[in-house]
Chain A
């Protein structure tokens, strides 16, 4: 959520019991709490918050078979989610003090269920990416280490959270025609064919995904970490040192113009183990060259230096052609300006397309689109679903269309006194041309 900082964040397991023979009440409370942020919060407050979260989960069980999702106060939003069996995550967002007489507030335009779920998922998945499931950490011997990892990671997450600007979690696909795409695929297949240790590959160019062989959720995780919203720049700016005992999120030695970010570089051999859904833990190599990022997930748990060097030589040979193929097309598309402001999202393949004119999206428009998107997702009954909306506000005209229950597209025009039918005609004319391969008439 834009602009909302984290007030507190905690991870707890209500089933944990203290190990001492005659535990005190405080010990009962403390052992459940795996981690609390901010760490300097008074202990009684930490215990109270965990107890309250547990209590609220039990409270709703009296009325619903579904778990508690969120709690909304005037200044905060509490998000709760069970991320693993018996392990709960609670994130409390702070919206600041903005007195309002109305019950519905501006923050309600952003705290839609799917948005809140994405925040919690984002926290959990990015930790999981480098450290695997929390249940892998044994109680109590591994817990001090887990706490250190979470401490390190949460500080990064807290700094990052208010800066997240994207509306949808998905992939920006690189604009390639079929022939170029096949050429790129050929290059990638050469890599996989030559190096049988390579389990999966992902190719990204300037933040746009070209190809991935990983399952969708794993791809999304790696893509979000490396590329979405140009995240590699954030990773570079973070300048986190190479501490093997700390959380590995964002720890890179260097980001060369050409070479390994994860692999062998001037700092030595750094090949993190990554945990992705539906794939066993594997080692990740990351090769960057010009604007390209090539991710190689390796089958084996160890990647010897010799293997890295052999791969390096292959990439030296293959990547220039791949880059050349992509570059010319990409530049051509990049330099062309879209005549309309639009945003497209496909819920099935998670494709996102945002027009050059609609960048950046200001806060008011962001909230408007988010709310319309949430309203469109609100009903799963076919007869009941909102399929199109045209709204005129004082900041813009927005037309939103949902096609086949999975694709959403938003068109934005400047505010005007034109009648709604004229606005729609103009948009449909553009859309039927630009999106003719996707939609058969709006």
Chain B
């Protein structure tokens, strides 16, 4: 694709080394864009050394209709050029923080593919061409970018499938009874949904590593053909090396059993555990699939008609749940259209924004924003973050009461909305 055609796109991503060598671009050919990428590297360098005897780091620049965000990670640089519009309905309304989070996610994915050894390699050999190592990942990176743009950037967690407690408990039992000692993590998941996850005692599975696993399953159809044994770097666990994932799909289903171990020789044991778990879960496969088909769930399940949409993040569990939308599949129920959701994300971000500063949040933050066509409530406490959309005509008294009711409902339904054990 010609440079001018590439530059007409709404959102461009560039990954390159500190020496200006392209690693990945979302559009166009990295070689054709190498001059442009070289100029990006030069810009970053110039601002790093803007003043003699002082170092700095470029973060972003803006015009009235464009944001360019930079993320500099030692030897790897990430840039997004995004055209924003306040006025046009179908233009992107992405925020600075959202774009930055997308760059962060790209970095995590790159490290997951290359491990952090790439940093020391590039520092020793600045002209090293990392493009070949990234071969075959374009689709995965593109999917990651699309998913990230739809996911609330300010929430730290993943979204599990809504599952009745008894059913989740059966899954839990199936895993618990068949955990080989070499299993570090075990996840029951589809490419787009997490049904259950297990962690070996003393370990936790970071939500960004969960996203990487989802991205892996979503991007590589070859993993579905038979049991796969694939190395993967989970940066939050360790960015220096690989762990090994044994992935088994339940027959005639999108549901996979992913077992992860640090032991590269553990395939046989993990496959064996996976087979037993599969046999046990086959009995409830159709029930699981029914629950997955019901995602995203409608806001009406909370039984509170005043609520148009809600997003709840449990801090202790590192998980969130949301009505009406599944960000990873970009599925929208009729109650909330795609453009309305994008606008909602921006409004949630506006409401949440001040709470990231310790000046304004010390365990308790509340904000209500009233627009002409909507009212947004944000509550942030030590336990949870809640964002809700209401009609603008609802009184503040009603908003207060309804939000209390909603939190109560979520707490009651916690075991079906989240993976608690």
Q: Which residues of the other chain, B, contact A364 by a CB distance below 8 angstroms?
A: 359-360
A59-90 residues with Cβ-Cβ distance < 8 A to B are 59-60, 62-76
Inter-subunit contact A420/B66 (CB<8 Å)? no
Q: Which residues of the other chain, B, contact A389 by a CB distance below 8 angstroms?
A: 367-370
Inter-subunit contact A420/B61 (CB<8 Å)? no
Inter-subunit contact A381/B87 (CB<8 Å)? yes
Interchain nearest-CB distance for B406 vs A (Å): 15
Q: A390-B368, A394-B361, A421-B397 are in contact. Are A70 and B62 (CB under 8 A)?
A: yes
Asked whether any CB of chain B lies closer than 8 Å to the CB of A193, the reply is: no
Among the stretches A169-177, A179-187, A367-375, the one at the interface with B is A367-375
Asked whether any CB of chain A lies closer than 8 Å to the CB of B29, the reply is: no
Inter-subunit contact A367/B359 (CB<8 Å)? yes
Q: Which listed residue (A70, A375, A382, A420) contacts B372, Cβ 8 A?
A: A382
Q: Which listed residue (A42, A73, A384, A385) contacts B58, Cβ 8 A?
A: A73
A60–B61 alpha-carbon span in the complex (Å): 9
Asked whether any CB of chain A lies closer than 8 Å to the CB of B181, the reply is: no
Q: Which residues of the other chain, A, contact B399 by a CB distance below 8 angstroms?
A: 420-421
Interchain nearest-CB distance for A8 vs B (Å): 8
Asked whether any CB of chain B lies closer than 8 Å to the CB of A392, the reply is: yes
A353-401 residues with Cβ-Cβ distance < 8 A to B are 364, 367-368, 371, 375, 378-395
Closest to B96 in A: A104
Among the stretches B48-56, B205-213, B264-272, B305-313, the one at the interface with A is B48-56
Inter-subunit contact B367/A392 (CB<8 Å)? yes
Interchain nearest-CB distance for A156 vs B (Å): 23
Asked whether any CB of chain A lies closer than 8 Å to the CB of B59, the reply is: yes
Interface centre among B96, B360, B367 (most CB of A within 10 A): B360
Interface centre among A64, A65, A70, A378 (most CB of B within 10 A): A64
Closest to B88 in A: A381
Closest to A372 in B: B354
Q: Which residues of the other chain, A, contact B363 by a CB distance below 8 angstroms?
A: 394
Asked whether any CB of chain A lies closer than 8 Å to the CB of B117, the reply is: no
Inter-subunit contact B396/A390 (CB<8 Å)? yes
Q: A389-B369, A392-B364, A394-B362 are in contact. Are A71 and B61 (CB under 8 A)?
A: yes
A302–B81 alpha-carbon span in the complex (Å): 55
Proximity bits, A104-126, B CB within 8 Å = 1, else 0: 10101100010000000000000
Inter-subunit contact A392/B81 (CB<8 Å)? no
Q: A59-B39, A63-B81, A102-B356 are in contact. Are A381 and B366 (CB under 8 A)?
A: no
A394–B366 alpha-carbon span in the complex (Å): 10
Asked whether any CB of chain B lies closer than 8 Å to the CB of A4, the reply is: no
Interface centre among B39, B46, B60, B396 (most CB of A within 10 A): B396
Closest to B9 in A: A63
Asked whether any CB of chain A lies closer than 8 Å to the CB of B63, the reply is: yes
Closest to A49 in B: B50
Inter-subunit contact A67/B350 (CB<8 Å)? no
B11-39 residues with Cβ-Cβ distance < 8 A to A are 39
Interface bracket on A: 35 or more
Q: A109-B357, A393-B365, A424-B396 are in contact. Are A7 and B51 (CB under 8 A)?
A: yes
Give the dominant DSSP class at B's interface: mixed
Inter-subunit contact A103/B100 (CB<8 Å)? yes
A402–B350 alpha-carbon span in the complex (Å): 16
Q: A49-B50, A106-B357, A385-B371 are in contact. Are A74 and B61 (CB under 8 A)?
A: no
Q: Which listed residue (B56, B63, B400) contacts A67, Cβ 8 A?
A: B63
A166–B95 alpha-carbon span in the complex (Å): 27
A45–B53 alpha-carbon span in the complex (Å): 12
Asked whether any CB of chain A lies closer than 8 Å to the CB of B131, the reply is: no
Q: Which residues of the other chain, A, contact B65 by a CB distance below 8 angstroms?
A: 64-66
Q: Which listed residue (A52, A375, A388, A390) contacts B46, Cβ 8 A?
A: A52
Asked whether any CB of chain B lies closer than 8 Å to the CB of A56, the reply is: yes
Interchain nearest-CB distance for A57 vs B (Å): 10
Closest to B355 in A: A393
Asked whether any CB of chain A lies closer than 8 Å to the CB of B128, the reply is: no
Q: A66-B64, A71-B61, A424-B396 are in contact. Are A386 and B361 (CB under 8 A)?
A: no
Q: Which listed residue (B83, B86, B343, B368) contacts A420, Cβ 8 A?
A: B368
Asked whether any CB of chain B lies closer than 8 Å to the CB of A419, the reply is: yes
A375–B95 alpha-carbon span in the complex (Å): 12
Proximity bits, B351-391, A CB within 8 Å = 1, else 0: 00110110111111111111111000000000000000000
Asked whether any CB of chain B lies closer than 8 Å to the CB of A291, the reply is: no
Q: Which listed residue (B7, B96, B343) contacts A63, Cβ 8 A?
A: B7
Interchain nearest-CB distance for B364 vs A (Å): 7
Proximity bits, A38-65, B CB within 8 Å = 1, else 0: 0000100100110010011001101111
Inter-subunit contact B367/A391 (CB<8 Å)? yes
Inter-subunit contact A74/B39 (CB<8 Å)? no
Inter-subunit contact B360/A75 (CB<8 Å)? no
Inter-subunit contact A72/B369 (CB<8 Å)? no
List the interface of chain A (C-beta within 8 A of B): 7-8, 42, 45, 48-49, 52, 55-56, 59-60, 62-76, 92, 102-104, 106, 108-109, 113, 364, 367-368, 371, 375, 378-395, 419-421, 424
List the interface of chain B (C-beta within 8 A of A): 7, 39, 43, 46-47, 50-52, 54, 56-66, 68, 81, 83, 86-87, 96-97, 100, 343, 350, 353-354, 356-357, 359-373, 395-397, 399-400
Q: Write 5 A-B pairs (CB below 8 A) sorted by A numbering.
A: A63-B7, A66-B64, A106-B359, A113-B64, A421-B396
Q: Which 7 A-B pairs have the closest CB atoms?
A: A393-B360, A421-B396, A388-B370, A421-B397, A391-B367, A392-B366, A71-B61
Query: Known contacts A70-B62, A103-B96, A391-B367; can you find 12 more A-B pairs with CB under 8 A?
Result: A8-B51, A64-B63, A66-B63, A108-B96, A113-B64, A375-B350, A378-B86, A379-B86, A380-B86, A388-B370, A394-B361, A420-B396
